[in-house]
Structure 1
Amino acid sequence: MITKQWQALNKEPLAPFYVIVGQEGYLRDETVKRIQARVDPEEWFVLDLEQQSIEDVMLETDTIPFFAEKKAIIVHNPQFLRAAVKDKEKEKKDTFPQKQFLNWLDHPSETAVVVFVAPYEKLDDRKKVVKELRKSAVVIEANPLSESDQKSWVLSQFRAHGKAPTDELIDWVAAVPLSLSFKRNEIAKAALYVSDSEEVTFDDYQQVASPVLEDNVFALTEAFLQSNREKAVTLYNELLKQKEEPLKLVALLAGQLRLLIQVGYFKKMGYPNTQIAGQVKAHPYRVKLMMEHPLVEQEELLVEKLKLLAEVDMQLKSSHMKKERILELYLLAN
């Protein structure tokens, strides 16, 4: 997990080059902060390669720091590290000073730490500059955490506030498909809410949690399956106020129904929770909730509701009737 590399950043001498690659913004930002914490704030420099050139970066490393022994140069948008996806990027590649850059890597400055922040899924390892940079730099991957790492991270965030979350809460927060920055804020709110208690339960968390589309759609599906028309329409109107499109909501509702049908099928086959999660490509905690659903084994009923939902989808795409009204009528009728 990335936390091991963070610990090294706190203790070991800084390397001349770092590459932080990955699409998880929180992990990228946190890594940059940990590097900057080792350098005097007067010696932080930020360069953007959409506005400046790699020559500017190399020139900055040759400038002696005034206030400390080392400076930190944070380099954003290093597009030369990924595969070209636009003609404009191809043009930049043609003018990239490769020979000068490779020589610079071979002779790093003793007074500068250069951090390339690459918000890409991966680097283009076919390029010579990338291969050579990997040899010279510490590469830190800031990609979405695995299920087990998510749980460890959630637990560590609660502990940082002096709180002990229940296992149910850890599973829930880890399962929600949201950014770590969002989750960190939600955890802080929950910790503040139970200021007089060490334990934080799922109910405590839900009291202050911000509305999340997937959770609202899950609640809408539940109300719909239980034929609780009043609650279903209320939740639907709340989602409309959040500017959610009826067509998108139909797709999400259909996804919930399909998942419930799939889980029911594998449950009948005797598959365990974790194996079902792998088959349907869903988080084990979501599958656990589905396994306990009272309608999970009523496949015919669920398939019928899914067929009706498909008809709503067709109406939304072809009818001249107000779209918001089409889905509302369906919720009222079923």
Structure 2
Amino acid sequence: MVPLITKQWQAIGKEPLAPFYLIIGEEAYLHDETIRRIRAKVDSEEWFSFDLEQASIGDVMLEADTMPFFAEQKGILVNNPILFRASTKEKEKDKEKESKKAVDDFIRWIQHPSPSATVVFSAPYEKLDERKKIVKELKKVAVVIEAAPLSEQDQKSWIVSQFRAYDKQPSDELVQWIAASPSGLEFKRNEIQKAALYKGDETNVELVDFQEVAAPVLEDNVFALGEAYFLNQREQALGIYHELLKQKEEPLKLVALLASQLRLLIQVGYYKKLGYHSAQIAGQIKAHPYRVKLMMEHPLADQEQILVSKLKALAEVDMELKSSGMKKERILELYLLEK
């Protein structure tokens, strides 16, 4: 199944640009890639940017209505359209009141857009204020592009397509591993490129190939740290911990991530005892199915008493880190040395 945003990118490449695009969501890569594709169809001399935290809607309208000088079409990127979201700061509310006339003018203006301008509104927010008239009216005339995190299935399709761009075929295990990572798409895209180049003329790419060249991801390193500690592999756990300290990771942050890992393992073990399969558990606890699958196979998944004991000890470490005068790095190190 092709993700909707991929179809929209294809339309941008094949069809004339629309008068308005509205990009909504917090996935930076999808924002940047959409803008890049639109910008590629506009003469560089006729590309303009506005930031609505400094400029006004009126400035955007004036530029759009000004005929392009170097080409038939101009492009206008509008960043931080704060008028499209709920006002959270007093200065935003004051600015909104002051610009009410400009907003009314804008709503009338979008009904008759400039034939020589494409205006792209980049809204890097989780959602807009759907109650606002300006949002309702713009959505009626704009091409709305969701730049939210991809669903699991869409992300898997995207990962495969990224490898295929280099004539590579990733294994199912590798696709699941990358999809389960909390990293953003831009980071994943760069890591996929590294793995593809590393394989040279070979077509198939396995998880071990990817891990050979991939940059360390904090959550994955903490997962490995937890695995080593939970299985009483003290030397390995300390080695990973000291490596994380070299990367300037804070013990308090590591404790929070380890606690999250323990809670996930406890939850998976609980539902496993009830006879749930991995997909059902993932739905219940809102976790990635691949992570759940790994946890279900964990040798301590059925040892709830041991896991709860370790979680309580970790809570004490958290308190000590926040109150003790002892060196923070040493506090967590002592915890990792305990049996």
Where on the TM-score scale, by shorter chain, does this alignment land: which range? over 0.9
Paired residue type of 2:31:
R
The answer on whether the counterparts of 2:57 and 2:103 sit within 8 Å (CA) in structure 1 is no
Paired residue type of 2:167:
G
Q: Which residue does the alignment assign to 1:90?
A: 93
Q: State the SS of the aligned residue for 1:7.
A: helix
Paired residue type of 2:179:
A
- TM-score when normalising by structure 2: 0.95
Q: Which residue does the alignment assign to 2:258?
A: 253
Q: State which drifts further: 301-310 or 229-238.
A: 301-310
Q: State which drifts further: 13-22 or 305-314.
A: 305-314
Deviations 1:190-213 (A, max 9, x none): 111111211110000000111111
Q: Which residue does the alignment assign to 1:24?
A: 27
> Equivalents in 2 of 1:179, 1:168: separation in Å?
19
Task: For 1:1-334, list aligned pairs within 5 A.
Answer: 1-96=4-99, 97-334=102-339
In structure 2, the gaps of 5 or more residues are none
Q: Tell me the matched-pair count.
A: 334
Paired residue type of 1:294:
P
Deviations 1:232-285 (A, max 9, x none): 111111111222221221121122112112111211211111001112221000
Q: CA deviation at 1:308?
A: 2.0
Runs of 4+ in 1 over 3 A off after TM superposition: none
Deviations 1:27-83 (A, max 9, x none): 011111111122222211112222322111111112111222111111111111111
Paired residue type of 2:140:
K
> Equivalents in 1 of 2:319, 2:128: separation in Å?
42
> Equivalents in 1 of 2:89, 2:320: separation in Å?
39
Q: What's the % identity of the aligned pairs?
A: 69
> Equivalents in 2 of 1:318, 1:73: separation in Å?
52
- TM-score when normalising by structure 1: 0.97
Deviations 1:106-161 (A, max 9, x none): 22111111111111111212111111111121111111111111101111111111
Paired residue type of 1:263:
V
Paired residue type of 1:123:
L
The answer on whether the counterparts of 2:13 and 2:37 sit within 8 Å (CA) in structure 1 is yes
In structure 1, the gaps of 5 or more residues are none
